[in-house]
Amino acid sequence: MTDLLAARAQMAMSLAFHILFAMVGMAMPLLMVLAERRFLRHGDRLDRTLAQRWARGTAIMFAVGAVSGTALSFELGLLWPNFMAFAGPIVGMPFSLEGFAFFLEAIFLGIYLYGWERVSPRAHLFAGVGVLLSGVASAAFVLCANAWMNTPVGFTLAADGTLVDVDPYTAMFNPAALTEVLHMTMAAFAAVGFAVAGIHAFMLLRRPGDPFHRRALGLALAVGSVFACLQPLSGDLAAKHVAAHQPVKLAAMEGHWQTARDVPLQLGGWPDETTEETRYALEIPYGLSFLAFGDIHAEVRGLKDFPPEDRPPVAVVHIAFQIMVACGAAMMAVAAVAGYLRLRGRDLAAPWFLRLLVASAPLGVIAVEAGWTVTEVGRQPWIIQGVLRTKDAVTPMPHLVVPFATFTLLYLVLGITVVMLLTRKVFTAEDPA
């Protein structure tokens, strides 16, 4: 394993791990606040128990998210010092603001988790809303910084390579920022809603009719379904944006080689990078031209327009994109079924539907991980699109496989422990709170 590959692997692993916990930290407060507000309105103890049980799980997830996020802010420098020396000042604004948002999130979470008996019910609910808002803000700022790596603006390079005219606001509100923020925050609520609904569906299969898990299932599924159904809108915005700003990434996502008009959408298939063609794909005529530019005759640039050393690994990006879209579509279908059952006044706890929900539980998480693979691998070989190559950003430190292996082992142990703890102390717990 080369040092560059080890550095990329460590970064990818750390991000993939952190994202799971960051999503939970952002989305669970919405579920807890909804349950607690119901309790304050109707006085049903079950809702309070639900908020407290969810809070107990969130406490574990948030702690691991906080420390793995800290690790990431250091890893940016430990692995990519030349990237940070260049980009630090330009994307400093969203990172500084993220610091404050995360600070508020930690403060409100401390009050929320430990303050049930110490502050008034109203103040407690307010703290929950504070966790929710600062969590979303914190994610939005980080996404602005990532978006800048895709569409770097807000600076000029002098002839000698030094930075001049840095404008932190232009950099923060870069062209990709809005679509990335919308697409990922909505993804987090959809993914967490489905995962939580799936867990409670599993418990309902074991304990049919349990009122606690029924209430939990209803709330989580409602949140997951709403965001799963809205998500294609933000996805469409994101795709049109990539088509306009990162044509080579779009071409890799679609496995599209030859620049042409009237381009079909290719579903599935295998992009072969030696013969430069995508085989076995199901083609929908005019699909890509329409989806990318809103015009069935639009010209879409193909991978052959770009020199091979400027192309991302096509197969990885194409397959990851297919997985993301397929998971998203499946979640929408499940959400539609749930909506139908509810409109018809049918029982959401029918065993066949519970089994479907259990099967759908990981879909959102898979979609998020696949989506990040698309955006990060799709930007390669650049760490900052068109400005700095990943291989020029890596640290000169040798033997990077050692920290990669160490962090992988560490996160593996933490991941297994979290799953065990959640299973024993949160999902299957018998005590009321």
Partner 1 sequence: MTPELAIASVMLAALVIYTLSAGADFGGGAWLVFASGPRADDQRDLVDDAIGPIWEANHVWLILVVVLLFVCFPVAFAAISTALHIPLTLMLIGVVLRGSAFAFAHAYAHAEHHDPAPRRWARVFAIASLITPVTLGITLGALSTGLDLDPLTQRVRTDFVSEWLAPFPFAVGLFALCLFAFLAAVYLADEARQDPELSDMFRRRALLSASLVAATALLTFLAAPPRLQAGLADSAWAMGLHLTTGLAAIAAIVLLLRRRLRAARLAAMLQVGLIVVGWALAQYPHLVYPHLTIAATAAPRSVLVPVLVALGLGALVLIPALVYLFVVFKARTQRA
Q: Can you give the binding site for partner 1, defined by CB under 8 A?
A: 56, 59-60, 62-64, 66-71, 73-78, 81-82, 84-90, 92-93, 95-100, 102-104, 106-111, 113-115, 118-119, 130, 163-169, 395-398, 403, 406-407, 410, 414, 417, 421, 425
Min dist CB 73 to partner 1, Å, is 5
Long-range Cβ contact pairs of 409-418 (< 8 A, separation 24 or more): 411/13, 411/14, 411/17, 411/68, 414/64, 415/17, 418/60, 418/61, 418/64
Task: Count Cβ atoms below 10 Å from residue 140 Cβ, excluding itself.
Answer: 21
119 or 387, CB closer to partner 1? 119
114 or 340, CB closer to partner 1? 114
Angle subtended at Cα 259 by Cα 255 and Cα 264, rounded to the nearest 5 degrees: 55
39 or 108, CB closer to partner 1? 108
Beta bridge partners of 277: 272
260 or 397, CB closer to partner 1? 397
77 or 218, CB closer to partner 1? 77
Beta bridge partners of 156: 164
Min dist CB 203 to partner 1, Å, is 18
Helical spans, DSSP H, in 151-208: 168-172, 177-206
99 or 294, CB closer to partner 1? 99
55 or 190, CB closer to partner 1? 55
Min dist CB 148 to partner 1, Å, is 13
Task: Count Cβ atoms below 10 Å from residue 40 Cβ, excluding itself.
Answer: 13
Angle subtended at Cα 171 by Cα 168 and Cα 175, rounded to the nearest 5 degrees: 155
Task: Count Cβ atoms below 10 Å from residue 391 Cβ, excluding itself.
Answer: 14
Min dist CB 366 to partner 1, Å, is 24
132 or 377, CB closer to partner 1? 132
The DSSP annotation for 338-407 comes to HHHHHHTT--TT-HHHHHHHHHHTTHHHHHHHHHHHHHHHTTTTEEETTTEEHHHHS---S-THHHHHHH
Task: Count Cβ atoms below 10 Å from residue 230 Cβ, excluding itself.
Answer: 16
Min dist CB 188 to partner 1, Å, is 20
Min dist CB 302 to partner 1, Å, is 38
Min dist CB 133 to partner 1, Å, is 11
Closest by CA position to 271, among listed 326, 239, 325, 317: 317
168 or 175, CB closer to partner 1? 168
The Cα 360–Cα 337 span in angstroms is 12
The Cα 202–Cα 362 span in angstroms is 13
10-25: buried (b, 16+ CB within 10 Å) or exposed (e) per residue? bbbebbebbbbbbbbb
The Cα 257–Cα 380 span in angstroms is 17
The Cα 322–Cα 367 span in angstroms is 10
Min dist CB 421 to partner 1, Å, is 5
What are residue 295's phi and psi, to 5 degrees?
-145, 120
Min dist CB 94 to partner 1, Å, is 10
Min dist CB 391 to partner 1, Å, is 15
95 or 306, CB closer to partner 1? 95
